[in-house]
Each structure stands twice: as C-alpha cells, then as structure tokens.
A and B are shown apart, each in its own frame.
Chain A
Amino acid sequence: EVQLVESGGGLVQPGRSLRLSCTASGFTFGDYAMSWFRQAPGKGLEWVGFIRSKAYGGTTEYAASVKGRFTISRDDSKSIAYLQMNSLKTEDTAVYYCTRAITTVTTARFDYWGQGTLVTVSS
C-alpha cells in the first residue's frame, strides 16, 4: 500500500525558514518523481513544485510564487522528499501535501497524496 506522510509543519514567523519532510512507503521511491502542493485555508489547490527521479536527472520545477525561496530535494536511500521553505511570507500559510508523481520530460500525473501538514506563517 502506497503511503505518504508529511511532517515538519507548524507556526513560523515571516522571513523565517521551515523544512517539511515526506516519508514514503509501499513503492520503489527512487523510481518516481515527488511533488508538493498546497491549499490555503478555504481555498483551492496550488502546485508548488516537483523533483524528478534520478532517471530523469533529479531536476526540479517550481511555481513562480515560490521559485527562489523554496527548494525540493530527495533522499532515495531514506525514501524521503523534502521541501525547504525560506523567506516565508504570510501568504505561504497553507496545508502542504506531498504526492507521488509519474512524469515524463514535460508531463506529470500525481496519483497518491499524503494527509498534509499545516504551515502557519504569522508574527
């Protein structure tokens, strides 16, 4: 059974940093891309970014709203994906979800989602 468990959320002040983790099980982690999404309170879904598998170079893509502030990485030996969030803004407040992704060079399908972790950016 595919399982994704996010952790690391919490309350953080504007301008500070936070790192989220996504621990995966039930599949060969290194064979898949991993992605992050977020959902602000009462709002819709927003794609944050993803990291391709090593087979596709392990490269990353980001939404414009987080590019330069957020970094996605992965540790295939531990089956963990990370979302490093720097220079946080109040508008980054959201539930953050990690997902498994099936990607080609230019396309992606996000099939399994974690339960999410809440990040609140407030002074």
Chain B
Amino acid sequence: DIVMTQTPLSLSVTPGQPASISCKSSQSLLHSDGKTYLYWYLQKPGQSPQLLIYEVSSRFSGVPDRFSGSGSGTDFTLKISRVEAEDVGVYYCMQGIHLPFTFGPGTKVDIK
C-alpha cells in the first residue's frame, strides 16, 4: 500500500499569516494519462471532510483562492496564503491512483 506522510502534524497559526503543509507519498502519483492524483481535504470540527484541491493544484468548486496546491511525483504542498478563523480543522492529503486509496495522518490546524 502507498504510505502518505504529512508534516507537521499540528500547526498553530496567527490569523492573516500564511501556513504550509507538506505531504509525501511512498510511490509516484503520476498516472500515464499525465495527471497526478493527489487530493487535499479539510475536515472542520464536527463536520465531514470537504474537498479543497484535486490533482495537486486544482481548487474545487467554491474553495477560496487563498488555498493553493503544488508539487509533483511524490512531494506535495498545500499553502494557505492568509489563514482565517474558518480554516481550523484537520487537513488530509490522499492519493487516488493506487488501490487501496490512502490518506495521510492529518495535520491539525488551529488559530493562535
């Protein structure tokens, strides 16, 4: 199975400041179709997960442009340009190319 790792596992951010989460996969997530199947989800407290970023860098419908994704192959990053109070929760990266689909352990983001 592909192992997804995330760093840091927790992050405390001052509102208005940037934040960055790293995700690494044990195998390349680049498909022969040219796409890379890496996703970012946010699970806000008491809620179900919501898709933020798909295929490394595409923002899902309704996701604010302060969220951005980058990376390739096995190394990926989610950046929040200016953290807002509503961004608190646990961020998960997930790979969607190799069965079984697997998640990182999650990064808990809170506000200072």
Contact = CB atoms under 8 A, between A and B. Distances in A.
Interface of A: 44-47, 61, 63-64, 97, 104, 106-116
Nearest to B99: A61
Contact of A116 (B35, B48, B94, B102): B48
B39 A113 contact: no
Interface string B74-112: 000000000000000000101011011111111000000
Contacts of B105: 44
| 9 tightest Cβ-Cβ pairs between the two chains A and B | A47-B101, A113-B48, A45-B103, A108-B96, A63-B100, A107-B37, A111-B51, A44-B106, A107-B97
The prevalent SS among residues of B at the interface is loop
Q: Which of A64, A109, A111, A112 has most chain B Cβ within 10 Å? A: A109
Given A114-B48, A115-B48, A116-B48, A108 B92 contact: no
A108 B50 contact: no
Interface residues of B, number: 27
B44 to A, nearest CB: 12
Interface of B: 31, 33, 35, 37, 39, 41, 43, 47-51, 54-55, 60, 92, 94, 96-97, 99-106
B96 A97 contact: no
A111 B54 contact: yes
A113 B92 contact: no
Given A47-B101, A61-B99, A63-B100, A106 B49 contact: no
B49 A107 contact: no
B106 to A, nearest CB: 5
16 contacts: A44-B104, A45-B92, A61-B100, A97-B48, A107-B97, A109-B37, A109-B39, A109-B51, A109-B96, A110-B39, A111-B51, A113-B48, A113-B50, A113-B51, A114-B48, A116-B48
